Structure 1
C-alpha cells in the first residue's frame, strides 16, 4: 500500500497529546521509549488507547445526534450548520470534532502496534494488539460514516508531516474489517462486566455494524447483510434481554450483563481536573430545570426530543418511564445544616419517595380525558402547591417557540448522574459510563441485517425480542420494514449517540429530518453544486494545513 501522510495539525496534536497523557503515568522518569519496551510499560500504553475514547464520546454530541428526526433545538441554540444543514460549510462549528479526536485515537493505536514488535514479548501481546486494533477500527468506522473516504494512517508518526492523501471509503472499510478480523482472532472472551476490556463479543458486534453499513453502499458486497446478521447473532450468543429496561441505565449499573462495550469513567480518577475528565452526556437530551436555587441538575435545553420522538411510545411500553422523567418531584434536602426544597434530584436520593411532592407531570400521548382525570385523582395528595400539568403536545422541542420556560420540555433521565463530579455552577460533568454497544441494539442490528438479507421472518423474531422486554405486543410481518426498525431504534436507543448514523446508513436522513425536525426543510440539504449534504464536510482546518491540494471535498460543499 502506498504511504499515506497526515496533516501536520492533527498528527502534531495527536503525538504531543498522547505523549503528555502517558507521561502523567510515568513516575520513574524513565524515557517513554524504554518504558514501552517492557511488558508493564506496554500494558500502560495499551491502557491509554482506551483513554482516547473519552475524547471521541465525552464532549459535545452534535455529530452523533444533531439535525435528526429525534432531537431539535429548544431554548438554547445548537450549532446551526450541523443542526440545520443550510449553513453547513467546512468551517462550521464542531464539524472537525470527530475528525480530530478519531485521528488522535488512531495515532495512539499506531504507536501501540509499532511497540508491539519491539517490546518484551509475552504470551498476551497479540491479545493487547487485538484490543487496540478494535479501537482503531471503531475510530475509522466513525470517520467513514461521517466524512466518507479519509486518509488511512497506519504508521507510528513521530514528526509532523506536511501533506496527506485521501483514501476511498471502500478502502477505509477494507482496513476496518482487516483490523476487526485480527481483533476477533486474538482478543479474549472474559465478560465485559468483569474485565472491562474488548472481547470477542464486542468485536462481533462491531463487525455486524460495519457489514450492515457497508451493505448499503454502492461498493457493498453481495453477502454484506448476511455476514452482518451472522456476526450480530454471534454477539448475541443466545442471550435474551433479561434485565428490565429501567435497570440498564440505573446509576451505578452501567457495567451490567447487557453492556457490550462502553467508555468507562471513575469519579476518583477525575479529581485532578473534574471539569475536563468527565463527560457531558447527562447534560444534553433534556430541558433546563431551573437555576442553582432549585438544586436541579444543569441542563442544556438543546437536543430536546421532537414530537415524533415522544410519540413513538405506546401505552404499556416500559421504555417511556425509564427514558423520560415523566414526573419532576421536589423534596427537602439539608446541606451544611440548611434545609431547602430541591427539585428533581430527590427522585434518586429520598429515603421516602412516596412522601415527595410532584412539581411537573408530562402527559403521554395515549392519555384520554378519563386517563387524565384518573391520574389527577390518584395523585391529588402528591401535588405541589406550584404543580403544573403538561398536556400531550406541549413539552416537545417545538413547543419552546410557544412557551419557553423552565421545565416546559420533558427531561431525559436515562443518563442522569445523581452524584456529579462538580456542582452545576461549575460545568456539565458526569462520571457515568457512556455505553457504546449493548445487547438490545445488537438485536435490532440483527433484525435489520436479516431483513436486508432477504430473511424477514428471522429479522422480525430478533426485533420482537426487544419489544417483548419493553412489554408491548409483537410487531407483525406486514409492519416489518426499515421505517418500523428506525421507529423501534428510536424507542430503544433515544440519546445513545446513534441516530444520525442510523438515518445516514438507511438513506432516510433528508426525508425524516425534514419531516420531524421543525428547524429543517428538504431544501436545507441542497448544496452549492446541487448535491445533497449527506456526508459532513471535510473540515476546513484539515484542508488548510495540507500542502497536497489535490484532495476532493465532499459533495454539496
Structure 2
C-alpha cells in the first residue's frame, strides 16, 4: 500500500552537486515542470538524487559509529544518548538526523520516478530510473536498520499530508528488494571508476547486504543467507584485492594525488574541491574530522581541526598484529614537525604528506610516535636511533593513547586516524572541519567480508573462510583457520579493514552483538544495563524522532517499544 508523509523538510529542493557527473546548470526563470520534461532537465533531476546522499553521509556520523565497540569519546563529549544509550530518548540530539535526510532523498527519487513517464523519452530514461531506485533503496535500508518499520513513501508529493501510517520492517525490506531488483535490470555495466554512476555491481553489493541483514530478522527467509552470498559473489565478479591497502586512501599534496575513485570502489559519495568555492566551510564532508585527536590547531601549526570524539578504542587498536599493512595505512603512527626555511615557523601534520620535503631534510623531525602493541624494548631502541627527534618529542607507549587513557586530555593524546585525511592546502586547513575527499559507501574488500558472513550463515563455512582470507592476504597476514572462523572473528576482521568507515553500528545491530560488544569494549558504556528501555525492551533500534511523531496527526503511530 502506498503511504504518504511530510516530515522534517521532506520537500527538499534540488541539492547542489559537486562532481562532473552530477553537475547542475542554472534553471533560473524556467518552470521546473517544463525543465524536467526535457532530456537535460530530467538528467538534472537524477543528479539531485545523487547529491541528496551528501545530506545523509556528509555530516556528523553519530548514527553510523557512536555507541559501538570501535569508537569512544576522547577529550570532547559525544551525544550522550546515541553514545551511551542510557539517556537515549525520542528527542535526543541527532536522533532525527538520519530520519530527516533519508526521507529527503526518498522524496527526491519519487519526483524522478514521477517525471520519468512525463519527460522526453529516450533509451537513457530506464537506466536513470534504475539509478534512482538504487538510491531510494539505500535510504530505506538505512531507515529500516536504524528505526525498524517506517512509512513507505513511493509517490511524488505536491501538497501536505498530515497523517501517515507505519509500515512493518518486513514490508520495508520487501520494498527495498523490489526497488533493487528493478534497478539491477535497468542500470549499466560501465565501471564505477570511469563513470561514477551506479552499475550492476553496486546493485548486487547492496542486494547482498539487504538479504544478509534480513536473514537475521524473525521474518527473514531460510534462503536469505545463500541469496546474499550469491549476490556478493556477483558484485565481486572475480576481482581479486590487488591494490595495496594504503593505495585505497592514498593522497598527498605535492603533487596532489587522490585515489578516491580507485578500481575497488563500488559506490561512494563524491566531492570535488573546485565546487566548494562558494561555501568552503559547508559544502564538504566531515568524515576526516571525527576520528582522531586535536593536533594543536591551524592557528598555530597548520594542523586541521579535529573533534576528539570518535577515537579508536583500546579494542580497536588491539585488533592489528605485526605485519598487518592496515596498521600503518590506517593510523598516523608518526606526527612530523617541519621548520620552514622560509620563515622559521614550525608546522605539524602537513609535512607527513608533502613529498617535496626530503626525508633527509634536517628540518623534518618526529614530534610524536605511537608504539604498536608488538614492539619490544629492542624495537623501541632501534626506532629511536633511526629518527631525528623534535625537542618536544613524545613516545606514546602501547596502552597509553586510547580514549580511556589519562593522556586523552592532551593534544595528540590519542592516535590520529589518517585514512580520510585531506591535506589539500585549502581544505581543511584554512576552511574548518570540512573535506572534499569522497566517502566510500561500498568497496570490494567489504563485499568479500559480506560474502564471508553470508556463506558462514548459509552453512558453507569453507567458502566463507576463503572469502575472508582474501582480505587477510591483501593485508599481509596469515590466513584465519577454520577453528577461528565465526561471527566474532568476522567482526574483528571488519574492524581491522573498515575502521572509521560508516558500518560499525549496523554490523553490531545486524549480528545481535551490539549490547555485548559495546558494553565490553566502550569505556563510556558501563554495563549492558545501559540498553535497558521501557516495557522490558532493549534499546537496539533508535527511537522514532519525537518531531516526526509531533507532526503526525495520526496519534496511533507506534513508537519503538523500548521508548
Work out whether the TM-score is over 0.5: yes
> What is the alpha-carbon distance in structure 1 between the residues aligned to residue 237 and residue 13 of structure 2?
39
Q: Which moved more, 1:304-313 or 1:415-424?
A: 415-424
SS for the counterpart of 2:95 is: coil
Give the 3 Å change call, closer, same or farther, for CA 247–535 of structure 1 in structure 2.
same
2:419 aligned with 1:414: yes
Give the 3 Å change call, closer, same or farther, for CA 16–505 of structure 1 in structure 2.
closer
Q: Which residue of 2 aligns with 1:361?
A: 369
Alpha-carbon offset, residue 478 of structure 1: 0.4
Alpha-carbon offset, residue 84 of structure 1: 0.3
SS for the counterpart of 1:277 is: coil
Alignment of 1:178-217 (within 5 A): 178-217=178-217
2:396 aligned with 1:390: yes
Alpha-carbon offset, residue 184 of structure 1: 0.3
8 A Cα contact 1:421 1:431, kept in partner: no
Q: Which residue of 2 aligns with 1:532?
A: 538
Give the 3 Å change call, closer, same or farther, for CA 333–525 of structure 1 in structure 2.
same
2:371 aligned with 1:329: no
Q: Which residue of 1 aligns with 2:81?
A: 81
Q: Which residue of 1 aligns with 2:383?
A: 375
From 14, 23, 26, the equivalent of 1:18 is 14
SS for the counterpart of 1:82 is: helix
Q: Which moved more, 1:417-426 or 1:403-412?
A: 417-426
Q: Which residue of 1 aligns with 2:276?
A: 270
> What is the alpha-carbon distance in structure 1 between the residues aligned to residue 25 and residue 560 of structure 2?
40
Give the 3 Å change call, closer, same or farther, for CA 294–5 of structure 1 in structure 2.
same
Q: Which residue of 2 aligns with 1:141?
A: 141
8 A Cα contact 2:24 2:44, kept in partner: no
SS for the counterpart of 1:5 is: coil
Alignment of 1:126-525 (within 5 A): 126-251=126-251, 252-291=258-297, 292-333=299-340, 338-351=343-356, 352-355=358-361, 356-379=364-387, 382-399=388-405, 401=406, 403-419=408-424, 421-422=426-427, 424=429, 426-520=431-525, 521-525=527-531
Aligned-pair Cα RMSD in Å: 1.6
Give the 3 Å change call, closer, same or farther, for CA 41–503 of structure 1 in structure 2.
same
Alpha-carbon offset, residue 423 of structure 1: 5.2
> What is the alpha-carbon distance in structure 2 between the residues aligned to residue 341 and residue 143 of structure 1?
47
8 A Cα contact 1:421 1:429, kept in partner: no
Deviation string 1:438-490 (CA, Å, 9 cap, x unpaired) is 00100000000000000000000000000000000000000000000000000
8 A Cα contact 2:11 2:107, kept in partner: yes
8 A Cα contact 2:184 2:204, kept in partner: yes
2:51 aligned with 1:59: no
Q: TM-score under structure 2 normalisation? A: 0.95
Q: Which residue of 1 aligns with 2:550?
A: 544
> What is the alpha-carbon distance in structure 2 between the residues aligned to residue 153 and residue 341 of structure 1?
55
Deviation string 1:505-538 (CA, Å, 9 cap, x unpaired) is 0000000000000000211000132210000000
SS for the counterpart of 1:361 is: strand
> What is the alpha-carbon distance in structure 1 between the residues aligned to residue 310 and residue 535 of structure 2?
30
> What is the alpha-carbon distance in structure 2 between the residues aligned to residue 19 and residue 403 of structure 1?
38
8 A Cα contact 2:401 2:407, kept in partner: no
Q: TM-score under structure 1 normalisation? A: 0.96
Give the 3 Å change call, closer, same or farther, for CA 212–421 of structure 1 in structure 2.
farther
Unpaired runs of 5+ residues, structure 2, are 252-257
Give the 3 Å change call, closer, same or farther, for CA 111–60 of structure 1 in structure 2.
same
> What is the alpha-carbon distance in structure 1 between the residues aligned to residue 294 and residue 339 of structure 2?
20
> What is the alpha-carbon distance in structure 2 between the residues aligned to residue 416 and residue 151 of structure 1?
37
SS for the counterpart of 1:529 is: helix
Unpaired runs of 5+ residues, structure 1, are none
Q: Which residue of 1 aligns with 2:255?
A: none
Give the 3 Å change call, closer, same or farther, for CA 377–421 of structure 1 in structure 2.
closer
Q: Which residue of 2 aligns with 1:4?
A: 3
> What is the alpha-carbon distance in structure 1 between the residues aligned to residue 515 and residue 178 of structure 2?
32
> What is the alpha-carbon distance in structure 2 between the residues aligned to residue 517 and residue 428 of structure 1?
25
Alpha-carbon offset, residue 278 of structure 1: 0.6
Q: How many residues align?
A: 548
> What is the alpha-carbon distance in structure 1 between the residues aligned to residue 547 and residue 430 of structure 2?
33
